[in-house]
Amino acid sequence: MCGILGIARPDQEPVTLTDAQVVAIRDAMIHRGPDDAGLERLGNVVLAHRRLSVIDPSPAGHQPMRFESPAGRTRGWLVYNGEIYNDADLRRDLSREGVAFATSCDTETLGRCCEQWGPAVAAARVRGMFAFAWYDPHARTLTLARDPIGIKPLYYTLLSAAGVTELVFASEIGAILAHPGVSAVPDPVTVSAYLTTIRTTLGPRTLYEAIRVVRPGQVLTFDLRVPSLPLAHAAIDTRQWSASADPESPETERVVRESVRVHLRADVPTCALLSGGLDSSIVVSTARRHVDVLRTYCSGAPEADGAGGSEDFAFARLVASRLGVVHTEAPVTRRMFQERWPAMVARTRTPLGTPNEVAINEVARTLRADGHVVALSGEGADEFFAGYDTPLSMALFHVEQGDHDPGLFQLNAAAWVPLNAKPGLLNPGWWSSAGRDEELVAAYRAEFAAVSDEAAGEAESSGRDLDPLERHLRFQQRINLVGLLQRLDSATMLESVEGRTPLADVVVRAHAWSLPMARKFTETRAAPGASPLTRTKIALREAFADALPPEVVERKKASFPLPFQAWVADQSQAIRASRFLRELFTEATVATVAARPSELWSLTWPMSNLAMWGERFA
């Protein structure tokens, strides 16, 4: 895992920042790559890289990486963050086309793909997690691409100085903010959206007015021949993965086990996160087959710090004992939470999304101290195999009532701060600057329409009817999973740990999409008016019933939970003292939340995060 950085200007307009300035920007991401660093100045383009050496840790994997023809002509430059899991297949295909390789590093594999097929086709043929930039000095284009699921982050901004347009891109917002031409001006639209969704992006927007995010599956190509650096948008074509999905075969167990196996490829020590839930236990049970001595790690609140403590500890111990792995606990105390939370906001330059980011970060810090560099995690199963019982039950009821305005329904159903409460909570000027959440509502409606069209097209091509609930599940994948993956990336990379997600994989996703909804989620009622009985992740539970303890197979969703509803009470004074919050909220709102923080935790959590962020960066 790495950190990438680039600055590009139109032809004949050399980058004016000095090498020392570029190095300072690049090294704002040193935690993403403590093992090596590179910088190449190419006239109107500068590329830089921080490397976390995982595959072929020799100097042969140094980036930026140059690709040339047999005659020595430069054909392209690559900076890349991620891992490729079908590396051997791609090398075989390229070799058949006459391509020769000089290293065993997957960076070279990706670069040869871009060189031979172009970056858009390369992105479509790669199975893995990636964010990369490909500079073609002959076409005079610079292409940014991000993997279809959105596992790896990539941000950019377009500046204008003295009439010259400049593109700046990086793996982290903090690096872009380190550029002397970038101002940390908050975006009211996204700030308001964060209050409701606790997500730090809204479509392409971020919490900073000038900074945009490359969306999952996007390929953005900038034409450096034109002074305005016009941008062409394209989407990664993932049909090759869907075409291989057959509802009869392959079986769920085989697909998942194969994905875990390929995600274990590394030339550095690898471990796994283990919460004792179904998803992480599946990953660990499979990894144990391929790793002689597997280390696992769990976090949560100890008994003294949270209402009986986290039951993750007990379930994780059970799984670890049954599978014969070496298990370590990384507890999070109330004091640690209060110290680590603002520190993470400061380091990432963004508010946290969910409280258990602190627990993930503590796990990453612990396993890194033990010498591990790669950690497998269970993200993706809930979104692909239908793991959230309450949201799906609510969606099913909405479908039964006619499924009117499903995008708005999804927004309201998961709201931390409800839309209809905001006019009374926010200052009128800020509420007006945020556009009264019109863009937020429009974005959710557009996303739901997009996933509906996608699911309907797949159903039609396979000759099956589309279950209306499938559309809501796809929406959870599109919105919820990206936030969880961002959480994993930032929390682990702060400690120079590469988090891998074998269940959030294009092949696993294709298989899950091919399954009928009844193989993923069902709801029944014993009698009219009775509470519903739900079953989630049915295919996964049945596939691994013989591999795991029955209490784990039937366990409800849990993932390093923390008693944050009680712990946020410690933020009362910070809420009262925050000048930034007083710009956003009415005096009455600030006073009420500061006086009743635990009771109003759904307001306290996002407000506390915005206080920490806004006071320092906005």
CA distance 196 to 439: 13
Residue 496 lies in a domain: no
Pick from 179, 208, 237: which residue ends a domain?
Answer: 237
* % of the chain residues with pLDDT over 70: 96
* Each residue's pLDDT tens digit, 469-497: 999 999 999 999 999 999 999 999 999 99
Residue 219 lies in a domain: yes
Residue 487 lies in a domain: no
Pick from 222, 237, 252: which residue ends a domain?
Answer: 237
Residue 468 lies in a domain: no
Give which of 152, 166, 183 is closest to 228, Cα–Cα: 166
Structural domain total, the chain = 2
**pLDDT for position 247:** 47
CA distance 560 to 276: 9
Domain of 232: which CATH number? Answer: 3.60.20.10
- At 355, the pLDDT band (50, 70, 90 cuts) reads very high
**What one-character-per-residue DSSP string does 410-468 give?**
HHHHT-SS-GGGHHHHB-HHHHHHTGGGHHHHHHHHHHHHHHHHHHHHHHHHHT-PPPH
What are the beta bridge partners of residue 77?
66, 135
Task: Answer whether the bond into residue 64 is a cis peptide, omega within 30°.
Answer: yes
> Residue for token digits 């990486």?
65
Give which of 121, 116, 109 is closest to 75, Cα–Cα: 116
How large is the average pLDDT for residues 555-571? Answer: 83
Pick from 188, 219, 237: which residue ends a domain?
Answer: 237
Residue 164 lies in a domain: yes
Give which of 410, 615, 482, 487 is closest to 204, Cα–Cα: 482
Contact predicate 281/541, CB 8 Å: no
Within 8 A by CB and 6+ apart from 50, the residues are: 2, 3, 26, 27, 29, 30, 32, 33, 34, 36, 37
Please count the other Cβ atoms lying within 10 Å of the Cβ belonging to residue 62: 17
CA atoms within 13 A on the CB side of 503: 30
- At 558, the pLDDT band (50, 70, 90 cuts) reads low
Residue 102 lies in a domain: yes
Does 460 score more than 90 pLDDT? no
How large is the average pLDDT for residues 25-43? Answer: 97
CA distance 302 to 72: 60
What are the beta bridge partners of residue 76?
67
Give the amino acid at 359.
Answer: A
Domain that holds residue 11: 2-237
* Each residue's pLDDT tens digit, 260-301: 999 999 999 999 999 999 999 999 999 999 999 999 999 999
Residue 547 lies in a domain: no
Give the amino acid at 122.
Answer: A
Residue 503 lies in a domain: no
Does 549 score more than 50 pLDDT? yes
**pLDDT for position 349:** 96
- At 99, the pLDDT band (50, 70, 90 cuts) reads very high
**What's the helix, strand, coil split of the chain in %, to 5?**
45, 20, 35
Contact predicate 140/126, CB 8 Å: no
Give the amino acid at 594.
Answer: A
Give which of 578, 556, 36, 136 is closest to 345, Cα–Cα: 578
Within 8 A by CB and 6+ apart from 125, the residues are: 86, 90, 93, 113, 117, 240
